[in-house]
């Protein structure tokens, strides 16, 4: 396969992001990544275009997204410090609108609960634990969800994840729209799922749970 599409990856230097970049290249996509310190990049590939910048800077986002058709956001918000994930997502969507880019795939945690969910008692308890111990982070995740809901002109998908296991192995991927089907997933399988859904309309304007 040789796709003319260029994919912008935010969070591409993280444990999941680098696997997404690799999978995208294998599928024939062109890849552009936003990197704060390119000189510290541990993995390099001549097929990956690196844009130096910071995710908080909307001009860096604009430079990253130009000429791209798909945006994948795996930026990892730390549990401590200022919660900026919703702000980053809003900036990305605003730039996408300006540049007429329609496809966005982001990730969140399984602790995010939305109106349509039918979580098990155990998963409801787990989500409540996050609410108690990480209230600012959960408030920011909910704000991001509201931002997505108000951007129907973007073909977005928000993938909700359980515990992420760093592994080169691949397993069966389970999917569910209303409850987390398992407790963990490998970063390889997250990358596989995301790249396989770049042109898949199944989860447009939805937030599926995935796990192994």
Would you list the DSSP string of 81-150? S---HHHHHHHHHHHHHHHT--EEEEEEETT---TT----HHHHHHHHHHHHH-HHHHHHHHHHHHHHHT
User: For residues 101 and 98, what is the distance between their CA atoms, to the nearest angstrom?
Assistant: 8
Interhelix angle 121-133/135-149, rounded to 10 degrees, is 110
Position 71 scores a pLDDT of 97
Query: Are 140 and 172 a contacting pair, CB within 8 Å?
Result: no
Position 78 scores a pLDDT of 64
Position 194 scores a pLDDT of 97
How does pLDDT run across 47-101, given as a tens digit for each residue? 889 999 999 999 999 999 999 999 999 987 665 667 888 999 999 999 999 999 9
Position 206 scores a pLDDT of 98
User: For residues 212 and 206, what is the distance between their CA atoms, to the nearest angstrom?
Assistant: 20
Which strands make up the sheet holding 209-211, listed edge to edge?
Answer: 48-52, 30-35, 6-10, 70-73, 103-109, 155-161, 209-211, 174-176
Q: CA-CA-CA-CA torsion for 131, 132, 134, 135, nearest 10 degrees?
A: 70
User: Is CATH 3.40.50.720 what the domain over 6-211 is classified as, yes or no?
Assistant: yes
Residues of the chain with pLDDT under 70: 1-4, 40-43, 77-81
Which residue has tokens 């791209």? 68
């Amino acid at each position: 396969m040789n796709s003319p599409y260029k994919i912008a990856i935010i969070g591409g230097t993280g444990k999941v992001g680098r696997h997404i970049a690799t999978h995208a290249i294998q599928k024939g996509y062109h890849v552009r990544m936003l990197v704060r310190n390119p000189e510290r990049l541990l993995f390099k590939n001549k097929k990956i275009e690196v844009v130096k910048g910071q995710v908080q800077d909307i001009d860096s986002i604009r430079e990253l997204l130009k000429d791209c058709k798909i945006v994948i956001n795996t930026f990892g918000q730390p549990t401590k410090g200022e919660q900026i994930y919703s702000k980053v997502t809003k900036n990305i969507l605003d730039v996408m609108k300006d540049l007429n880019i329609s496809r966005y795939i982001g990730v969140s945690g399984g602790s995010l609960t939305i109106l349509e969910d039918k979580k098990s008692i155990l998963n409801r308890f787990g989500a409540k634990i996050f609410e108690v111990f990480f209230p600012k982070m959960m408030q920011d995740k909910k704000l991001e969800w509201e931002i997505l809901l108000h951007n129907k002109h973007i073909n977005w998908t928000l993938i909700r994840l359980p515990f992420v296991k760093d592994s080169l192995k691949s397993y069966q991927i389970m999917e569910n729209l209303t409850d987390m089907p398992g407790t963990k997933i490998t970063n390889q399988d997250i990358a596989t799922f995301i790249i396989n859904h770049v042109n898949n309309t199944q989860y447009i304007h939805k937030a599926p749970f995935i796990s192994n």
